[in-house]
Amino acid sequence: MPVSGPSISLHKLSRHYGTVRAVDGVSLDIAAGSLVALVGLSGSGKSTLLKMINRLVEPDNGKILIGDEPVESADPHVLRRRIGYVFQNIGLFPHMTVARNVAIGLELAGEKAGRDARVAELLDLVELPQDLAARMPDQLSGGQQQRVGVARALATRPGLMLMDEPFGALDPVTRDNLTDQYKALHDRLGLTTIIVTHDMAEALYLADRILVMEDGQIKADATPAELLSGNVGDEAEALVAIPRAQAAHLIALSKQA
């Protein structure tokens, strides 16, 4: 499918909280249609960087372009309708049905025609049964709730998806299934996706490009294969060492079986 997602450009982007440099002069170009993972230890600046793209956090300095358009040229609420946003705590409205949760972006944009059909289309897209539309969020499993969150983020047909630890609170089996499904969805819709994760194994599997952050700066920028080669710096190597050791341990155990 043709790429529908935009390119992203960051130029000397900074955000400080007092003396803490959460993001420190980051410049970066992301090609349209990319699936990019932001990894690093807690406090490295991943989430702050992500939230500056949709203006949930405003930068102290620097520029952000989505395509050719500076993000500050649009009102924040208008900008966010063009950007899907999925985060770990899901944030479904507990007093709304699944259908209304999915359609809330359309409702806020004043889109009335075809809303029910769009909800049905989105439930199919994220592989949820249509009969869940009338349920309340607390009647769903964690994995189902996160699928609803993805459907809601896609409702206004954004080309850009920002995801902040979207699968971190799920059990391993559900997490792996949703990771597979989202990767297929990204490719099918031609999206540009930036995903924050602390799980290097998830990043290596999911992304076509991985950015390693430390102290508010990008310390490594590489493909999964390049990261696994061990030639992209100590910060990246320390993160890659964890899944590598886990894989070696599992292979050793299988030989004992």
The verdict on residue 72 lying in a domain is yes
DSSP H or E run through 187: helix 172-189
Domain that holds residue 167: 8-82+158-256
Residue 193 included in any domain: yes
Residue 2, pLDDT above cutoff 60: no
Residue 91's pLDDT band (cuts 50, 70, 90): confident
CATH of the domain at 72: 3.40.50.300
Higher pLDDT, 156 or 241: 156
The number of residues in the chain equals 257
Token pair belonging to 234: 């100590």
DSSP at 155: T
Q: Is residue 104 part of a domain?
A: no
Please name the amino acid found at residue 136: M
CB 90 within 8 A of CB 166: no
CB-neighbour burial class of residue 174 (10 A; exposed 0-12, middle 13-18, buried 19+): middle
151: Cα separation from own chain's centroid? 13
Question: What digits encode the pLDDT tens for the residues 41-80?
Answer: 888 999 999 999 999 999 999 999 999 999 999 898 888 8
Query: Does residue 195 form part of some domain?
Result: yes
| 213 found inside a domain | yes
Domain assignment of residue 52, yes or no: yes
Position 135 in a domain? no
Q: Mean pLDDT lowest for which of 66-80, 145-159, 221-235?
A: 221-235
Domains identified in the chain, total number: 1
Q: Assess if residue 100 is contained within a domain.
A: no
